[in-house]
Amino acid sequence: MATRPDTIKVAPAGAAILSIVTLAHFVNDSFTAMLTPVLPEIQATYGISIARTAVLVAILAFVGSMLQPFTGLIGDRFGRRLLAALGPVLAAVGMTLMGYAPNFATLGLLIAFAGIGSAIFHPSGAAYVAMGSRAHQRGLFAALFSGGGTVGLAAGPLAATALGIHALPYLMPIGFAVGLASYMITPDSVVTGPTRRPAEYLELWRGPIRTLWATGVLRSLSTVSYQGLLGFVLTTRGQAQHIGPSLAVFSVASALGGIAGGRLSDRIGRTAVLRSSVLITIPLFIALVYSRPEQWWYYPLMAVVGAVVNANLPVAVVTAQEYAPRHVATASALMMGFTWGTAGVLFLLVGKLADLTSPTTAMTASILALLPAFWMTLKLPEPAIVKDSGVPVVT
């Protein structure tokens, strides 16, 4: 077996592309992550149930995620430069104005608007990373891109709690600045070869991507459920001050875990990382659910769980890209948007279960869904290494 090179190489143009789309990922996800920490405040303001607040999570997940396969298809066929640039702009506008919604319905519309920004950014950003990185570092650079978004998931809740919901518009210019920089730096993508038929994209579901997608849904459901219900658990215990720090530690550790998982998959294979991360996560995640902030192991365990559960996210994206090398944006969207969106919709059921039982019970049930996810990873074949694409997105 040939030895994989350890030296990380990327052309200067590729480095610039990777840097700006990773920064844009950070900014985009920072804004969309501002919803979760204010859910208890929204519940108190509107006098609604936990299940009703879960509707807001589902809106963001459905619009921001379920639309990604379609925006990925558009990017594959017509170019992705404008899509990647507009994403952070729309996310910034929608989320920073949610403190000024006159009613619950308007708040839902603002969140949907931010979701559109997320939907158009993620497939195009991931496709730029795939094309700008070398084959033997593709897992690493996908992990760095993913890590940018994951760190954004940590920064967003901290900003929302530190500034307050009515001061968030001060952050809006950041989204516009990053969107402009993205448009200036990323080159136009060029569609080469014959026009692809819509049926070609449907054929993606006939291969292992369908199984890979299902495992991603269950993994995402456990994470969405934990993050979405943690605020209610800590607020009930009188420990609301730990909501922001807990989510921040989880997200930062997730970014580091994703980088480690991506690089490890370059060395030992994609499926080995996918299987081991799911299996190791289950007992640690359940232990975290029943831990409390005053216990010394709470934050260290939070970091470990965040790292392990997210170790397979960038690996899953790269695996899908290598399963379908001619449709990288669409494959990326299926593993990012379509998995997150489906998990967000399923969270409605988890929210209802939390009302009927308790948030802790609902968390545990969602984590146990990782058991069939592990079984499905055993059926995944190891993808072939796709040759270098260099930095082909030049006009």
Question: Using an 8 Å Cβ cutoff, are 323 and 209 in contact?
Answer: yes
Backbone φ and ψ of 50, nearest 5°: -60, -40
Question: Residue 3 falls within a domain, yes or no?
Answer: no
First to last CA, the chain: 37
Dist CA 34 CA 165 (whole Å): 9
At residue 275, the pLDDT reads 92
Position 394 scores a pLDDT of: 30
The answer to the question of residue 195 being in a domain is: no
Contact (CB, 8 A) for 101 and 152: no
Contact 8, 137 (CB under 8 A): yes
Say what the pLDDT of residue 1 is.
39
| Geometric angle at alpha carbon 390, from 385 and 395, rounded to 5° | 135
| Distance, CA of 225 to CA of 54 (rounded, Å) | 10
Helices (H) and strands (E) in the chain, counts: 18, 0
- In the chain, the number of structural domains is 1
**Would 282 be classed as within a structural domain?**
yes
Q: Is residue 197 part of a domain?
A: no
Residue 77 lies in a domain: yes
Residue 392 lies in a domain: no
Q: Does residue 9 form part of some domain? A: no
Contact 367, 96 (CB under 8 A): no
The whole domain housing 96 covers 14-190+206-377
Select from 368, 273, 367 the least CA-distant residue to 313: 273
Q: What is the pLDDT along the chain (395 residues), one digit of tens a residue?
A: 333 333 334 344 567 888 888 899 999 999 988 887 777 777 777 777 777 777 887 788 778 877 777 777 777 676 778 888 899 999 999 998 887 888 888 888 989 989 999 888 887 887 787 666 665 566 667 777 877 887 787 788 888 878 877 888 999 999 999 999 988 888 776 555 444 555 555 666 677 888 998 998 999 899 888 888 888 888 888 887 888 788 888 878 887 888 888 778 888 888 899 999 999 999 999 999 999 988 999 999 999 999 998 888 888 888 887 887 777 667 777 777 678 778 878 888 888 898 899 889 999 999 999 999 999 999 888 887 654 444 333 32
pLDDT for 47? 72
pTM score of the predicted model:
0.67
pLDDT at residue 393, rounded to an integer: 35
**Domain membership flag for residue 286:** yes
Which contacts (CB < 8 Å, 24+ apart) does range 100-108 have? Answer: 100/166, 100/169, 104/46, 104/48, 107/42, 107/56, 108/55, 108/56, 108/59
**133 token code pair:** 């990185």
CATH number of the domain where residue 137 is located:
1.20.1250.20
